[in-house]
Amino acid sequence: MESAGSAIAKYIKISPYKVRKVVALIRGKDVNLAMAILKNTEKRSTLYLERALKSAIASAKQGGKVKQDDLYISKILVDDGPMMKRYKAAAMGRATMIRKRTCHISIEVGRRLSGS
């Protein structure tokens, strides 16, 4: 198994916790199956994951003679991005912090060797 293509989506305005729930569904799957799962999952993060996966597939195809049917998701990571901090008025003159989280999505697709 070798790495064929990769893609990184940065500064996505959604919490990494929410994205990781969907990533767990597609980790290690074939790209065609992963795309089908993303199309049928009703979460906002599927839009960003689908976009990054399409980019990784295109990157793999550009590299050489690779068919989409031979590709699978070899590595997928969701890291924390920078946090925007805002304040909201609270009781008794205090202020509470609101953290608007962002994330970075890294997808690497690999090629399954025909012998395995």
Q: What is the pLDDT of residue 2?
A: 63
SS3 helix, strand, coil % of the chain, rounded to 5?
A: 40, 35, 25
- Per-residue pLDDT at 115: 53
Supply the mean pLDDT for the chain. 92
Residues whose CB falls within 8 Å of the CB of residue 96, separated by 6 or more in sequence, listed in order: 87, 88, 90
Tell me how far the alpha carbon of residue 35 is from its chain's centroid: 12
The answer, yes or no, to whether residue 111 has pLDDT greater than 80, is: yes
CA end-to-end distance (rounded Å), the chain: 9
Sketch the domain layout of the chain as residue ranges. Answer: 2-111
Tell me the pLDDT band of 91, cut-offs 50, 70 and 90: very high
pLDDT greater than 60 at residue 32: yes
CATH number for the domain whose boundaries are 2-111: 3.90.470.10
